[in-house]
Amino acid sequence: MAMPYGARQSDIICRQKVLFLFVSFLGQVFGVFCYRSQLDLQKRLL
């Protein structure tokens, strides 16, 4: 009984790591997109 539980726990930790990397990657892409759109808005205003 101990083996499947350990496997599940490591699987959950692995999923959390992948999810964290995915979310941070999306955050970076969104940040760059917002930064570029802000620059475009500033150019239009100027």
2-11 b/e (C-beta count within 10 Å ≥ 16 → b): eeeeeeeeee
Please, what is the end-to-end C-alpha distance for the chain in angstroms? 67
* Residue bearing the bigger pLDDT, 23 or 5: 23
| 30: pLDDT strictly greater than 80 | yes
The confidence score (pLDDT) of residue 6 equals 65
Q: What is the pTM of this model?
A: 0.58
The confidence score (pLDDT) of residue 2 equals 58
| 16: pLDDT strictly greater than 80 | yes
